[in-house]
Amino acid sequence: MKAAEDADAGRAFAMTFDGHPVEALPGRTIAAALWAAGITSWRTTRDGGRPRGVFCGIGVCFDCLVTVNGRPNQRACLVPARPGDDVRTQRGTGHAD
């Protein structure tokens, strides 16, 4: 039996977060890739601009919202990371208010 640390996750690929390269592994969500890169906050609240990241991790809440390839309000805990994704911090509603 192989140990978990010996498992081959596949070849890493690049995505960007706020214009900076982030490495991701196949099968990981955007939230997992950001966490692995040491990034724990990627949204700000509408009122007060307080930072948010993953809260529930299963798509029930909306704390992990990001803008992915120009599409706001994507749940980072559910969206698979893909090569070349352009992920941006979501501020407020994610739309020009």
Q: Which domains does the chain have, with CATH numbers?
A: 28-91 (3.10.20.440)
Q: Which residue has the tokens 């007060």?
A: 48
Label each residue of 7-35 as H, E or C.
CCCCCCEEEEECCEEEEECCCCEHHHHHH
pLDDT one-digit tens code per residue, 32-80:
999 999 999 988 888 888 888 888 888 888 889 999 999 999 999 999 9
17: number of Cβ within 10 Å: 20
Q: What is the pTM of this model?
A: 0.83
pLDDT one-digit tens code per residue, 69-93:
999 999 999 999 999 999 999 987 7
